[in-house]
Amino acid sequence: MFTGHLDEIFFSIQGEGRDLGRPHVFCRLGGCPLRCVYCDTPRSWKEQKQFELHGCDNTQLVDNPVSADKVVEYLTQLLAVYDLSAAQVCLSLTGGEALQQPEFAAQIASLWPGSVLLETSGSDADAFKEIAHQFDMVSLDWKTRSLMSKQLFAQHQDCLRHAVSEQINTQLKMVLSCDTTELEINEMYDFVAALSAKLPIFLQPLTKVPKSPAPPTSAQMLKWLTIGVQRNLDVRVVPQVHPILEAR
Ligand code: SF4
């Protein structure tokens, strides 16, 4: 059994993308090599000695590393508190970055009796190709260079080519700020149009954190949305909903 580092486990409302509004149980893995300026989970950048297990009205600290079967046991126990079974609720494996611990992430997914969503930055295409088939859905963040110094286009493109060729149910999310450029939007649209015009694209105005730039204006969002629709892409604007609901 593989062991790995978690950051937290909790049950909440999925606040992004195609499953918006559905109940998900979240398993946030610890460790992320990126430093997105809009990151709302900086604690997850480093592997912690303990992870947070959030219950209905309490939080326990549990030692890392933890085995994949024990993770599934914690997740199952958490859902039982809500009178839900594991088979009824989608598990979101999020980060941090799951591709930093690929065997551990894949084993958790293989042990979960319900559907599993991989939320990833798509920053390691080799790891992605190893484990993507273990997931029912993939949500890949396409990172723009105006929001991070690292250039990840080649990794994103490699991940998406693999996901489409393997017919993995995939969505692309692009976080946007007032500094996003039309060039950045068009680079992503050009790639998706050539790969698969059916790939769902979520344009997500960033949720402000202290050091991040401002979100885009509604006029910017409408313009970028219009360009995608003119190109017959499956694109929509969807902000994060969990901060509005004050959910975790
Ligand atoms: S990839 Fe996710 S966890 Fe890592 S820095 Fe960016 S937003 Fe934060």
Per-residue confidence of the chain (248 residues) as pLDDT tens digits?
999 999 999 999 999 999 999 999 999 999 999 999 999 999 999 999 999 999 989 999 999 999 999 999 999 999 999 999 998 999 999 999 999 999 999 999 999 999 999 999 999 999 999 999 999 999 999 999 888 767 899 999 999 999 999 999 999 999 999 999 999 999 999 999 999 999 999 999 999 998 899 999 999 999 999 999 999 999 999 999 999 888 88
Our mutation pick for probing the ligand 1 site, out of 34, 119, 156, 206, counting the most ligand atoms within 8 A of Cβ, is 34
The CATH class that applies to domain 3-245 reads alpha beta
| 44 Cβ inside 6 Å of ligand 1 | yes
> CA-CA distance, 57 to 79, in Å (whole number)?
14
Say if strands 3-4 and 137-141 run parallel, antiparallel, or are unpaired: unpaired
Phi, psi (5° rounding) for residue 197? -65, -15
Domain parsing of the chain, residue ranges: 3-245
> CA-CA distance, 105 to 86, in Å (whole number)?
17
> CA-CA distance, 75 to 72, in Å (whole number)?
5
| 37 Cβ inside 6 Å of ligand 1 | no
Q: Other CB atoms closer than 10 Å to residue 180's CB: what's the count? A: 24
Residue from 148, 238, 230 nearest 201 by CA: 238
